[in-house]
Amino acid sequence: MLAAPSKSGTIEIKGLQKVYESKKSRFEALRDIDLTIGENEFLTIVGPSGCGKSTLLRMVAGLDEPSGGSLQVDGEEIIGPGADRGMVFQGYTLFPWLTVRENIEYGLKLKGVSILERRKISNYFLKVIRLESFDKSYPKQLSGGMKQRVAIARALANRPRVLLMDEPFGALDAQTKLEMQEMLLEVWEKEKTTVLFITHDIDEAIFLSQRIVVMGAGPGRILKEFRVELPEGRTPEVREHPDFLALKRELGQLLKH
Ligand SMILES: Nc1ncnc2c1ncn2[C@@H]1O[C@H](COP(=O)(O)OP(=O)(O)OP(=O)(O)O)[C@@H](O)[C@H]1O
């Protein structure tokens, strides 16, 4: 198997600024963002539409450049996309001309991993996402939830130090979404990669995370953060836990204002 990453996945964001400028306009999307996401931590960002969540994630992914401040993974400045950071976004970004297995193995093939090794890794992840019998299927033959499971497996197969997820379950129906959340927690507990997750869904944020950061708009900034003290190995019943409900109320109030 491809070894687990040797370095931890610590993300350090310091004094981050983002200004979108054109000849006619100037828009300050993010101001003074300071945030450290620890090794193996599951951190979720919530906040109103337009507060800069995706902008922040895109910069960590190396898809967009900051206007100021610094962004590092394990002490190395982010200067572009890299195999150390896996990404799963809302739109299904699978390659339609590749089978499920080929999608999962795509990054490994690029890295020159042998076919034998690739098979071992894709077998493992097909099992993790419970799609063993769909290995030869094409994306168009899969449901939305199945596609997102493949996208997660494809990102994890490269053994990234960090997994970046921007509303990965936003387009799914309520039941599938719950199943996906449980699967993601299971995978995260097994793989122990650092996860930076974005959602609009407060329930989802509390169920999944160890820490939740609330952002506000105008300009995008961090308002408050919460540690989620619920035990690990969470099951759906945790949603009835008094601490879950109390945090849900508090976050709901904060986001309303
Ligand atoms: N390329 C761009 N040029 C100019 N403005 C942009 C650009 N990309 C984003 N913005 C603006 O920056 C702000 C933050 O956008 P962003 O997509 O990061 O917000 P968000 O919090 O992820 O929103 P949502 O929850 O709706 O996805 C928005 O006001 C948006 O209009």
Each residue's pLDDT tens digit, 158-174? 889 999 999 998 888 88
Question: 216-241: per-residue pLDDT in tens?
Answer: 998 999 999 999 999 888 899 999 99
Q: pLDDT tens digit string along 11-31? A: 999 999 999 998 899 999 999
| Ligand 1 atom 30 nearest Cα | 50
Any ligand 1 atom below 6 A from CB of 51: yes
Per the structure, the complete domain to which residue 176 belongs is given by: 11-84+162-256
Is the complex ipTM more than 0.95?
Answer: yes
Q: What's the pTM value of the predicted model, to 2 decimals?
A: 0.92
The total of structural domains in the chain comes to 2
Q: Quick one: pLDDT band at residue 8, thresholds 50, 70, 90? A: low
pLDDT bin (cut points 50, 70, 90) of residue 145 is confident
Residue at 50 is within a domain: yes
> Which of 107, 140, 159 is a domain's end point?
159
- Shared domain for 40 and 118, answered yes or no, is no
The pLDDT assigned to 92 comes to 66
Going by CA atoms, what residue is nearest to atom 13 of ligand 1? 50
Judgement on whether residues 73 and 181 belong to the same structural domain of the protein? yes
Do 143 and 180 belong to one domain? no
Q: Give the residue, 144 or 139, on which the prediction is more confident.
A: 139
123/144 same-domain check: yes
Which atom of ligand 1 approaches the CA of 55 most closely? 18
Of 188, 237, 231, 196, nearest to 46 (Cα)? 196
Residue 178: exposure state from Cβ atoms within 10 A (0-12, 13-18, ≥19): middle
Q: How far is the CA of 108 from the centre of ligand 1 (A)?
A: 32
| Res 7 pLDDT > 60 | no
Across-strand partners of 226? Answer: 212
Q: Looking at the predicted structure, is the pLDDT value of residue 189 above 80?
A: yes
| Ligand 1 close to Cβ of residue 100 (< 6 A) | no
Sort strands 11-21 and 26-37 into parallel, antiparallel or unpaired.
Answer: antiparallel
Asked whether 218 lines ligand 1 (CB < 6 A), one says no
What distance in angstroms lies between residue 111's CA and the mean position of ligand 1's atoms? 33
Q: Which of 119, 142, 159 is the last residue of a domain?
A: 159
Q: Give the Å distance between the CA of 123 and the centre of ligand 1.
A: 38
Percent of the chain with pLDDT over 90: 73
Question: Residue 185 pLDDT more than 60?
Answer: yes
Nearest CA to ligand 1 atom 6: 20
| Residue 2, in any domain of the structure | no
Residue 89 resides in a domain: no
Would you state the pLDDT for residue 4?
54
Alpha-carbon span 33 to 207, nearest angstrom: 25
pLDDT digits (tens, 9 = 90+) for 68-125: 999 999 999 999 998 889 999 887 689 999 999 999 999 999 999 999 999 999 999 9
Protein residue with least CA distance to atom 24, ligand 1: 49
Ligand 1 lined by 214 (C-beta under 6 Å): no
Specify whether the CB–CB gap between 223 and 254 falls below 8 A.
yes
